[in-house]
Structure 1
Amino acid sequence: MTFWEIIVSMLGQGLFTTIVTTILAAILALVLGFAGGLMRLSNNRFVRFIVAIYVEVFRGTSLLVQLFWIYFVLPMFGITMSALTAAVLAIGLNYGAYTSEVVRSGIQSVDKGQTEASIALNFTPAQRMRRIIIPQAFIIMLPNLGNQLIELFKSTSLVALITLTDLTYQANVLNASTLQTTEIYTALLVLYFLIAWPLTKGIQILERKLTEGRM
């Protein structure tokens, strides 16, 4: 097979699975990240403690082990799920833990005077967070959130290990049948770069748009 035939062979189901896994896991990670980040700032010590356990467990253990545990161990307790669901859950939970720290630090980076001004304007805590704090904090968070998204996308290569037919799985199948190892894994490298590069540039463009007139 030629180099381009190899690339075409890895598209289709492999590309679709990689993109779907990335999108779903990113949504879950963002939801968990923002919820966890806000809860880390709660006045309730019990809430902070529960979220801290979640963050430390998922940041302190390997994503690969988490993926295996969810897919292979949970069925022993009667919780069975598809490979796609397990992949989205493992990656989303893992990156949600990291994202929560980005959210927490971003919110804490907003000038305290903004909070004091919103209190003077008689805003409720929810209004302060929604209208004043989060819009400013989001701009601070954006570079780190972009980095998390790229890392999340690259981590989807692990899902091949639970038989999910992503790009890496397709590459492994092709390699087993053709033994064109150099060409196949070079093509895989190129495909991951071609997908990651627009994501990186998109985040940079969004960051520039949001910071226009603020500097």
Structure 2
Amino acid sequence: MELHFDKAFATLGPSLWQGIGIVVYITLFGFALALVVALLLAIGKLSRNKVLTRILSLFIELIRGTPLLVQFFYIYYVIPVLLNSVASLAGYATNVQFKPATCGIIGFAINYGCYMSEVIRAAILAIDYGQREAGLALGFSEKQVLFRFIIPPAIRNSVPVFGNYLVMMIKDTSLLAMISVQELLLRTKTYASQTFLTVEAYTILALFYLVISIPLSQLSKIVERKLKQVG
């Protein structure tokens, strides 16, 4: 079997570079929102309100117990139908539709936010109780102690895990091909079906993922070392 990597890279390469832009865009926004969701869920689960903690625990288990791809489908196909149905019952004619990239960002924010919330919660519980007492002794309120003395070191201690989640999110963007996001996998699949250069196309795709994920992994390790020096 004769392979044509030069031809495949010359024609598929430019398209994949454009796809990287979409992958980075969705990943950065999705990860940033996931951090916000994770922090809110972690703080909520640590509250003294038992009803709130049970609701949040149920929500987290629901998200963690279903595949990310199913969640993308639900956000993309089901939620617009539900919103349009509710609006119709209220007497309004609507045609709510979500852009595929928007669904990807929302899906990543919710899914990864639930997973990272447990990381943050565990990191908060691992902080020495004396820091809380010292903050209260200095006249700070409970909220001020939480956001000034507890959360910052907890986030810093969670950075290595967050780095792993970021790399995982990069690779999970391939799932977005199923809801028509023009990321790397969908572009490669389209090209391979048109040219029949299957081996070349998917090998190049794997290399492109490595080009993104390996530098991110190394950057995460560098940040981790820097934070340890600061700590």
Equivalent of residue 151 in structure 2, options 131, 134, 139 = 134
- Equivalent in the alignment of 1:68: 73
- The alignment of Structure 1 onto Structure 2 pairs a total of residues equal to 214
Distance 1:4 1:165 in 2: 18
2:105 is aligned to: 88
The 5 A counterparts of 1:90-129 are: 90-129=107-146
- The alpha-carbon deviation at position 53 of structure 1 amounts to 1.8
Aligned mate of 1:186, from 199, 203, 209 = 203
**Residue 22 in structure 1 maps to residue 27 in structure 2:** yes
Shift of 1:213: 5.1
Distance 1:68 1:89, change over 3 A: same
Task: Specify the SS of the correspondent of 1:11.
Answer: helix
Shift, 1:196, TM fit: 0.9
Larger Rg: 2
Aligned AA for 2:108? I
What is the percentage of aligned positions where both structures have the same residue?
35
| Change in 2 beyond 3 A, CA 1:55/1:208 | same
Q: In the TM superposition, what is the alpha-carbon distance from 1:12 to its structure 2 partner?
A: 4.0
**Amino acid paired to 1:26:** F
Q: CA deviation at 1:91?
A: 1.6
Q: Aligned-residue CA RMSD in angstroms? A: 1.5
Deviations 1:23-74 (A, max 9, x none): 1111111110111111110111122122112211110100011111111122
Q: Which runs of 5+ in 1 are unaligned?
A: none
Query: What is the match of residue 173 of structure 1?
Result: 190
Q: How does 1:142-181 map to 2 (within 5 A)?
A: 142-181=159-198
Map of 2:90 onto structure 1: none
Q: Is the 8 A contact 2:12 2:191 kept in 1?
A: no
Q: Normalized against structure 1, the TM-score is what? A: 0.94
Contact 1:115 1:133 in 2 (8 A): yes
Structure 1 runs, 4 residues or longer, greater than 3 Å off: none
CA deviation after TM superposition for structure 1 residue 6, in Å: 4.8
Report deviation, 1:197: 1.4
Q: TM-score, normalised by structure 2?
A: 0.87
- Kept after mapping to 1: 8 A contact 2:12/2:188: no
For structure 2, the 5+ residue unaligned runs are 85-95
